[in-house]
Amino acid sequence: MSNSTIIELQNASVFQQDHLVLSEVDLTLKKGEFRYLIGQTGSGKSSLLKTLYGDLPLRNGKGNVCGFDLNKLRDKEIPFLRRKMGIVFQDFQLLTDRSVADNLLFVLRATGWKDKKKMAAKINEVLEKVGMATKGFKMPHQLSGGEQQRVAIARSLLNDPDLILADEPTGNLDPSTSEEIMILLKQISDNGKAILMATHDYSIILKFPSETLKCEGGKVFSTVQNSL
């Protein structure tokens, strides 16, 4: 696996408990690459993402993500794997009882940051990147869905990850807000982050074409840009 390869799966099987969801999965994602992951509900998209971030064990085949061997991944190593990646969910998953800045501070403390000045500077930096520099004092309920997702993306950037896994990040957003979030994700990818984004919004794929992986019939296929 070369230094620029962020995800490499070879002949991998994805299980949910004892149920085989996907088999013979071959997937390579390099630094700065952006890929979509599509497929009907229940086709295995989320299970594949969960395998990549260590929520489901890889039982068959080979897997390497952000320099971690998924075959040998121990429970105590999972937090270290997740520091190398950012995860963005459809429902934002912000802590509702604290401000935007305190949401980000919580993650920094949980991942071992100690220096208050460095933490404040990092929070400002990531909020600036997502266009939320003036909103750090706000509570999540005071933000629109698009703003909450921007904060969630800022949170995913805190530990300067190699990889961002985005699970339906525009699923709860209207079309124009979805477009803004896509522009932001594309910029992040252009700056060298690998992004794998699960979606069922084909209008986004047409507007922002990129290589697409499709989960169907227990397999993952690579489809040509725009030929869905």
Residues 49-69 have pLDDT tens digits of: 999 999 999 989 999 999 999
Q: Check if the beta carbon of residue 194 is closer than 8 Å to that of residue 7.
A: yes
Listing DSSP states for 86-113 in one string gives EEEETT----TTS-HHHHHHHHHHHTT-
pLDDT tens digits, 180-213: 999 999 999 999 999 999 998 899 999 999 999 9
- Which CATH code is given to the segment(s) 1-84+163-228? 3.40.50.300
Q: What is the mean pLDDT of residues 67-77?
A: 93
Other Cβ atoms less than 10 A from the Cβ of 127: the count is 22
DSSP assignment letter at 75: G
Name the E strands within the chain: 5-16, 19-30, 34-38, 60-65, 68-69, 85-89, 163-167, 194-198, 212-216, 219-223
What pLDDT score was predicted for residue 224?
59
CA atoms within 13 A on the CB side of 157: 23
Q: What is the pTM of this model?
A: 0.91
